[in-house]
Amino acid sequence: MKKILLILCFATIGVFGVYAQKTEKKIPDTHSTCNEQRYRRTEIILPQVNGYNCYKADLHVHTIYSDGDVTPRQRVHEAWYDGLDIIAITDHLESRKYEKFMLKAHAPYNPDGKAYKYHHAGSVRLMKDGTDAGIRCDFNATFAEAENYLKTTGFPLLLIKGSEISRNPFEMGHFNALFLKDVNAIYNIDAKETLRNVHKQGGLVIHNHPGYRRNTTDKSEWQAEVYAEKLFDGVEIVNGTKFYPKMIRRCVEENLFMIGATDTHRPTSGQFKDFGFFRTMTIIFAKENTEETIKEALLQRRTIAYSGGELMGEEKWLTDFIKAAVVCKDMGVSKKKGSTYHKYALINKSSISYSLRWGKAVSCKLDPFESVVVEMLEKDGVKRGPSFTVENMWHIDYQHPQVTFPISK
């Protein structure tokens, strides 16, 4: 009996020993909680409008080479994953806030162990001898850094070489230069001459955030002269989440294109997505996503600004855009108290929501890739497509467009 018990004990110990060995082998050295390499791009689906594709662009962003908080590489990275097709890096031409911090960090490696004394180009705080500090960095290298990174990623993103010209905000203002060949060459202590230099390179000039620090979008005397000389090609009617309604009339009357841009200095992930809408952008109607076709589209004023779920621009492009995005289907009729009502299904085939109102009080929200059924009272025995006021669209003089949807066959 004792022999049997001993045999059972040794057998049990052997079993547990084998189990322990097997259990130990199953414990990995590394356990990944998720596949962090799989980034997800936000796909923004927009319709074709009058034969043109809708390209999403942010034409005003900053990096650490002026006063932004991220690198040019990161701007490219986040633009693609934010759902954009086009980005313009527009670092300040005359202001480089981060340069002094970089130079301070490198002070131990300077010959005298001191950081370089920082000056703004064109600043009222000129150097001791009274001369202008001028441009003391290579802004083309900033663009090249972003361009090289774009090549390594393979993102089909159009990168536009630009710069922001930042002068006295109360009298002059800030202006974006796009489609530049040599950023460094446009600078002149005379701001008007700088704008002329942009055009000499075949670039375009945008009047940025026209109400910045002035509390008015009316033209200053200096700005009136610049507009009269036609040195501006477009206006930033939306900056971040600030919309300048009066600028739409100015753009229409003076033949200027309109844009919406983030003017982002910080990472965009903490600015827009948490609020449930896309980053501020310009929707550009063009045949292809090339520098030539995008520039042509801007000059022909085929743009809409998007910000916070709202759309701003010329009435024609707003109405054509929503008619292309929303399909209206006939759902028959119903009789109520002797009246005839026509029923329609409105199907949203885009990533943007639309706030629709008919009559004085009845309204509905048409969310992305959803449909709603509405009933319209028949008038004069005539069947018409449903008409709405689109309350999250704005055109000239702070008005909403009126849209009648054609009935799909």
Domain membership flag for residue 69: yes
pTM above 0.75, yes or no: yes
CA-to-CA separations, 276 to 279, 311, 352, in angstroms, rounded = 10, 16, 11
Structural domain range at position 204: 53-96+137-313
Predicted confidence (pLDDT) at residue 131 exceeds the cutoff of 80: no
Asked whether the CA dihedral 45, 50, 55, 57 is positive or negative, the reply is negative
Q: Quick check: 4 pLDDT over 90?
A: no
pLDDT in tens, 50-77: 999 999 999 999 999 999 999 999 999 9
170's tokens: 């109360």
pLDDT tens readout for residues 351-378:
999 999 987 777 899 999 999 998 887 7
Q: Sheet containing 354-358: which strands, arranged edge to edge?
A: 362-366, 354-358, 387-390, 402-404
CATH of the domain at 302: 3.20.20.140
With 0-12 / 13-18 / 19 or more C-beta atoms within 10 angstroms meaning exposed / middle / buried, residue 244 is: buried
Is 60 inside any structural domain? yes
Work out the average pLDDT over 2-24: 54
Q: Evaluate whether residue 185 is within a structural domain.
A: yes
Give the residue carrying structure tokens 């971040």.
240
| Last residue within a domain, chosen from 256, 290, 313 | 313
Q: Are residues 330 and 289 in the same domain?
A: no
| Residues 278, 399 within the same domain | no
Domain check: are 192 and 303 in the same one? Answer: yes
397 and 284 co-located in one domain: no
Give the total number of structural domains in the chain: 2
CA distance 326 to 385: 13
**Do 379 and 282 share a domain, yes or no?**
no
pLDDT per position as a tens digit, 156-197? 999 999 999 999 999 999 999 999 999 999 999 999 999 999
Residue 166 sits at the vertex; the CA angle it makes with 76 and 280, to the nearest 5 degrees, is 40
CA–CA separation, 58 and 56 (whole Å):
7
For residue 333, being part of any structural domain is answered with yes
CB 53 within 8 A of CB 284: no
Residue 281 has pLDDT above 90, yes or no: yes
pLDDT over 60 (residue 16): no
Domain assignment present for residue 320? The answer is no
Residue 283 sits in the same domain as residue 340: no
261 in the same domain as 155: yes
Q: Judge whether residue 38 has pLDDT over 70.
A: no
Q: Are residues 172 and 302 in the same domain?
A: yes
- In sequence order, what E strands does 240-360 have? 242-243, 257-261, 281-286, 303-307, 310-313, 326-336, 339-348, 354-358
Distance CA 249, CA 325 (A): 25
pLDDT for the residue 204: 98
Q: Is residue 24 part of a domain?
A: no
Q: What is the average pLDDT across 5-28?
A: 59
The DSSP bridge pattern shows strands 362-366 and 339-348 to be unpaired
Helix (H, G, I), strand (E, B) or coil at 380: coil
Per-residue pLDDT tens digits for 208-239: 999 998 889 999 999 999 999 999 999 999 99
pLDDT at 2 over 60: no
Question: Does the residue 41 lie in any domain?
Answer: no
Buried-exposed string 33-49: b where 16+ CB fall within 10 A, e elsewhere:
eeeeeeeeeeebebbeb
